[in-house]
Amino acid sequence: MTFREKLHLVTGSGAVGLCIGLDPDPARLPEGYSPDLQGISSFLTEVISISTPHAAAYKVNTAFYEAWGAEGWALLEKIAHDLPESSLRIADAKRGDIGNTAKRYAHAFLERIPFDAITLNPYMGGDTLQPFLRNPHKGAFVLALTTNPGSKDLQRFSDGKFNLYERVLDMISHWAPQGNLGAVVGATHPDELVKIRRAYPSVPLLIPGIGAQGGDAETVAQIAEDVQGEPLLVNVSRGILYPDNDLDFQESIESACLDYKKQLKING
């Protein structure tokens, strides 16, 4: 199954899929889970078990594992293997480098570890992306317009015709004619998100920024309804891992998944 085929499969007949971000913060684990790797492992195992019926994709932010050193990397591999194969498994690693270095990154995340896709920084150019895109069964999402306030420093730089983020989006079909490259566009930029969806409907989007960062799920759902195109994967991390309610841990995860699916108008 190609990356594009799997992306369509996990989102079903709809244009939107819920992506769950596995960014374990030891300071925010529920009661009963120790703030160490053992506690994190148990916590994530439970999250995956509860959320599997609802998740089209999982996005694993590698920094939350790499910070623990070799043992954290071992947990990253374990979690990647634990993720259901029926979901799209994304390594949120934001890598980007030249030549043999990019090849080794691609081998690490897309061969040694069973991720289906990886996030990439396109700043060094299209040749640095190719090692991640040669296999049509694997894919990537390049950073285009990110959620952080400093995104304006470079991503909105204009030559009078294009903003830099628009140049990135414009190059995607050239960089990946097999259709296995998407873009990261934050829900914290709703006006730009509408324009991007209209201008680049053939580009699948990974959309972070819902919930804790201020993005609105219902706005994204409306954009998907208004403009037909490739699937949108809407990522929620803190809003699902650490929901602000009075339910116990297991019930809160289930409730948060259902609530975000409702906001995003995802059936099933």
Catalytic positions? 94
How many CA within 13 A on the CB side of residue 139? 26
Q: Could you give the residue ranges of the DSSP H alpha helices within the chain?
A: 3-10, 37-51, 63-66, 70-82, 99-107, 130-133, 164-175, 190-199, 217-226, 238-241, 249-263
Coil, strand or helix at 58: strand
The residue behind tokens 């694993």 is 60
Cβ(20)–Cβ(240) under 8 Å? yes
d(CA 190, CA 48): 29
User: What phi-psi label fits residue 32: left (phi over 0), alpha (psi between -120 and 50 degrees) or beta?
Assistant: left
User: What phi-psi label fits residue 57: left (phi over 0), alpha (psi between -120 and 50 degrees) or beta?
Assistant: beta
Residues 6+ apart with CB under 8 A from 196: 144, 145, 169, 183, 185, 203, 205
The residue behind tokens 């799997």 is 6
